[in-house]
Amino acid sequence: MKAALYQGNRTFTVTDVAPVPPGPGEVRLDVAYVGICGTDVHIFHGAMDARVKPPQIIGHEMSGTVAEVGPGVTGLAVGDSVVVRPLDNRAETAADRGHSHICRGLKFIGIDSPGAYQRSWTVPAFTVHKAPAGVDLKLAALAEPLAVACHDVRLGEVKPGELAVVIGGGPIGMLVALVARAAGARVILSEVNESRLAFARELGFEAVNPAKVDLPALCRERSSDSGADIVFEVSGAKAAAATMTDLLAIRGRIVLVAIYPKPVELNLFQFFWKELKLIGARVYEPEDYTKAVELIAGGSFPIDRLITRVEPLDRIQGAFENLDATPDAMKILIDCRA
Amino acid sequence: MKAALYQGNRTFTVTDVAPVPPGPGEVRLDVAYVGICGTDVHIFHGAMDARVKPPQIIGHEMSGTVAEVGPGVTGLAVGDSVVVRPLDNRAETAADRGHSHICRGLKFIGIDSPGAYQRSWTVPAFTVHKAPAGVDLKLAALAEPLAVACHDVRLGEVKPGELAVVIGGGPIGMLVALVARAAGARVILSEVNESRLAFARELGFEAVNPAKVDLPALCRERSSDSGADIVFEVSGAKAAAATMTDLLAIRGRIVLVAIYPKPVELNLFQFFWKELKLIGARVYEPEDYTKAVELIAGGSFPIDRLITRVEPLDRIQGAFENLDATPDAMKILIDCRA
């Protein structure tokens, strides 16, 4: 069975490995499509070698079907269309207070343990979410990043008619914008890359370059002079952190989606003055997966527009190299059945 | 009638002025006690002369009785014991969305208009809260800072049994600690000044110097290894902003009470990683005043312990100078009837 092994130093090798028979509580999946995540690119660049320990199979944004069911697994049958929520919380303790998805002992499947860039993947059954029969598995491969967006919008408590600003128009920012719009928000997307701006406009968003447009003024203009209700900070840019507070109305909220490895300056005076809220958001909870699968299966959510290209597993090396050369791409899928 | 005029340059003069007859919708109050607020000290130091425009009567933490009721005022009668919520929101607009207490056109009475360091004070009736007959007016003078604390604890949604850390043991920090404890929280007070620490311990709090004690470890120890549920940042210290995220459990909250005039560094990674929340809090809403008056009138709340000294209006100059020399003092009251 074909599998792509990340070898370190920007190198994948596609080799033959034996499928792993499912143990008690596990299922073996036939992998259909796996999306290339920003984290995968980060791994490819060697930035996470200490954690990943090459050679390792990585990848976690997947869709597929159940191939084999291990002892004790209920609710799943061979042939079911599924997606995987790649969070292994088995090291959770009482000190985590039930917040399983961000428990201190969390292992991320596909980073801390073998991932999905292979024909057959064996995972704990509790990570598997069923998708409706007949779902387009290409679209279902986007369930993982879409669940991130569903989590962000849910934690932000977006209400119909609210003005939302999404800072950063990469795949996650674009998905947050789509989910916020589906929740009834009016969305402005802020992005400096012109081709991403053009893409956001194709999706029907008001999309602006904050280096060229007075974004705080635009927010007031779109809100009868109040300012935005909610900002999703997805860019990770220092300048975004420094200025996001200027966009908001009194009692506005910021959902912090981006990862800032180092401390950055924030305008705490604005938090006090306008009674703003900052809400950290990380990965997803089971209900976010349920919502993501619903949106995908519903058919009216334009998730298909985010798929830039599909490449066969044999060409994974080229797909990663290509992504470095064309950073404007949205989602590249690896077809593990091809 | 005696009044203290702030003249600029660390100088008050006590002179005779005519009482202001109440116009429509106004009441004239006989002022009993006025607490010296940190903002008053700031004004005394000349830091707010552009806003205050000396000579001006300042002061806003007051208690008193109704002396005269203007035309059209209902619900208030001569002799009623009262406190004033010194927020004039008459310039509020629809863009403020009903958040009257922090509306953009807010005028703070006692800063932006004449204040309470005088025998007789005329204010809009909508700022007046009645206290029960027979309330100790010395204690009632603390309603304003206590309402700040009630607002902070309410916005923080403190629940019984939670572990709360209050950073900063000045008058507001101490009141936040008391209100959080009254709401059922277990409170740790963090403060570097040893005499404030000793005072906090007298009030029954676990009080520690974060320069000497490993505060994150203490929080874990007091919470079965989870960390604190909520932090009240009242110190305004850069070091507090930089490290407050280390104290918290997964999904912990920070209520930002302190004023940071300049941007400061925050550990946004922790906000993401633990899904923390930062909640800005400013002044108070009417319900916070209701709560503060209830606590004071209830009799079991140890607000009396915070009154360091009472000085007659004639000695206001010395009282302010003395406060500069003894920064450990909690609350100094000016007796405007003496």
Cβ–Cβ below 8 Å for A277 and B274:
no
Among the partner-chain residues A263, A274, A279, the one whose CB lies closest to the CB of B280 is A274
B308 pLDDT higher than 90: yes
Question: What mean pLDDT do residues B21-41 have?
Answer: 97
Q: Which residues of A touch B280 (CB under 8 A)?
A: 268, 270-277
Cβ–Cβ below 8 Å for B273 and A102:
yes
Q: Which residues of B touch A241 (CB under 8 A)?
A: 268
Strands B186-190 and B163-167: parallel
| CA distance linking residue A210 with residue A205, whole number of Å | 15
Chain B residue with the nearest C-alpha to that of A259: B269
Query: How far does the CA of residue A296 sit from the closest CA of chain B (Å)?
Result: 26
Question: What mean pLDDT do residues B61-90 have?
Answer: 98
CA A338, chain centre distance (Å): 24
Among A85, A143, A113, A64, smallest CA distance to A285 is for: A85
Q: Which two tokens stand for residue A48?
A: 């996470």
Cβ–Cβ below 8 Å for B259 and A281:
no
B326 pLDDT higher than 90: no
Q: Which residues of A touch B282 (CB under 8 A)?
A: 272-273, 275
Q: Which residues of B touch A256 (CB under 8 A)?
A: 268, 271-272
Q: Which two tokens stand for residue B269?
A: 């990674």
Least reliable range by pLDDT among A202-211, A317-326, B214-223: A317-326
Say yes or no: ipTM exceeds 0.90.
yes
Tell me what pLDDT residue B301 has: 93
Whether A31 and A119 have beta carbons less than 8 Å apart is answered as: yes
| CA distance linking residue B246 with residue B227, whole number of Å | 8
| Cα A132 to Cα A296, A297, A330, distances in angstroms | 10, 7, 25
Confidence of residue A327 (pLDDT cuts 50, 70, 90): confident
Cβ–Cβ below 8 Å for A250 and B225:
no
pLDDT digit string (tens) for B125-157?
Answer: 999 999 999 999 999 999 999 999 999 999 999
Confidence of residue B265 (pLDDT cuts 50, 70, 90): very high
- The mean of the pLDDT values for chain A is 97
DSSP string, B85-138: --EE-TT--GGGTT-GGG-TT-EEBTTTB--SSBSEEEEEGGGEEE--TT--HH
Query: How far does the CA of residue B233 sit from the closest CA of chain A (Å)?
Result: 11
Tell me what pLDDT residue A322 has: 93
Which of B13, B15, B42, B290 is catalytic? The answer is B42
Confidence of residue B264 (pLDDT cuts 50, 70, 90): very high
Confidence of residue A148 (pLDDT cuts 50, 70, 90): very high
Tell me what pLDDT residue A326 has: 85
B71 pLDDT higher than 90: yes
For chain B, domains (ranges, CATH) are 2-146+284-335 (3.90.180.10), 157-280 (3.40.50.720)
Q: In what side-by-side order are the strands of the sheet with A163-167?
A: A206-208, A186-190, A163-167, A228-233, A248-256, A277-280, B277-280, B248-256, B228-233, B163-167, B186-190, B206-208
Residues of A taking part in catalysis:
39, 42
Query: How far does the CA of residue A147 sit from the closest CA of chain B (Å)?
Result: 16
Residues 6 or more apart whose CB falls under 8 angstroms from that of A301 comprise: A178, A182, A295
Share of chain B above pLDDT 90, in %: 97
| CA distance linking residue A257 with residue A121, whole number of Å | 29
pLDDT digit string (tens) for A215-265?
Answer: 999 999 999 999 999 999 999 999 999 999 999 999 999 999 999 999 999
Question: What mean pLDDT do residues A35-60 have?
Answer: 96
Share of chain B above pLDDT 70, in %: 100
Whether B176 and B250 have beta carbons less than 8 Å apart is answered as: no
pLDDT digit string (tens) for B196-235?
Answer: 999 999 999 999 999 999 999 999 999 999 999 999 999 9
Question: What mean pLDDT do residues B297-304 have?
Answer: 93
